[in-house]
Amino acid sequence: MENTIVKAENYNSYFGDNHVVKDVNISINKNEVIAVMGPSGCGKTTFLRGINRMHELIPGATSKGKILLDGQNVYDLNAIYVRAKIGMVFQRPNPFPNLSIYENVIAGYLLNGIKVSKADKDVIVERSLTSAALWKEVKDSLHKKGTFLSGGQQQRLCIARAIAMQPELILFDEPTSALDPISTSSVEQLFHELKTNYTLIIVTHNMQQAARVSDRTAFFYMGELVEFDDTKQMFTNPADQRTQNYITGRFS
């Protein structure tokens, strides 16, 4: 139990009257990589955005139930604090176009008005870029714009930006869907390295990616968490017929 970092208890999300995530119960352990998959509109991204309270930013969006981070309901905590503890990386790399690589990494501190000494900033930038497997590639061009980088490098810069805030958990929403296979491979390699220090939840449409990178996989269908199991088990002998139909491409 003490190994659990995030737990959803009867969690529901709505867009107005539309019930998008239905009574989800899930428990995620520290240093796990979790893949979340399911057909479009199944509620997987909405669930992900509920974990760090991004869901409530959408007008008319509401939620019910609990998301516990280290035993505390995130809906009882300050939303800004929650988002600092739970980093997020999106589908398209989105470095701040007007900021340098260096500034992009410490953007979380700059935008939240957190005072950090130059020496500490240097340490944070190097540590974060190293963790994101980008340091060697950009250490001589830290003051160039982030948009100067390739798509794969930009995505790793976004990961470095998330890591810089020293989150406990990082959420990824289809993080490689806009990347070429080589960049995808480097980001996937990064997942393996990041799990030493972080817990990762990755929403992906790419089933092979889910199989390659995750320890456990959650399958959502029509807002329900249908199955959550060891990834090997899920891809060799899923318990639920709907999961089998989805992963074998037999979904009608």
d(CA 55, CA 46): 6
Task: At 134, give phi and psi (nearest 5°).
Answer: -125, -15
3-state secondary structure of 132: coil
Quote the least distance from Cβ 177 to another protein, whole Å: 17
- 148 CB contacts (<8 Å, ≥6 apart)? 101, 141
Q: How far is the CB of 176 from another protein (least distance, A)?
A: 16
Q: Which is nearer to another protein, 93 or 238 (CB)?
A: 238
Q: Which is nearer to another protein, 104 or 204 (CB)?
A: 204
- E-strand stretches of 136-198: 169-173
**Closest distance between another protein and the C-beta of residue 207, in Å?**
7
* Nearer Cβ to another protein (141/248): 248
Identify whether the C-beta of residue 15 lies closer than 8 Å to the C-beta of residue 217. Answer: no
**Closest distance of CB 221 from another protein, Å:** 15
Binding residues (CB under 8 A) for another protein: these are 207-208, 211, 235-238, 244, 247-250
Helices (H) and strands (E) counted in the chain, each on its own, are 11, 10
> Judged by CB, which is closer to another protein: 73, or 248?
248
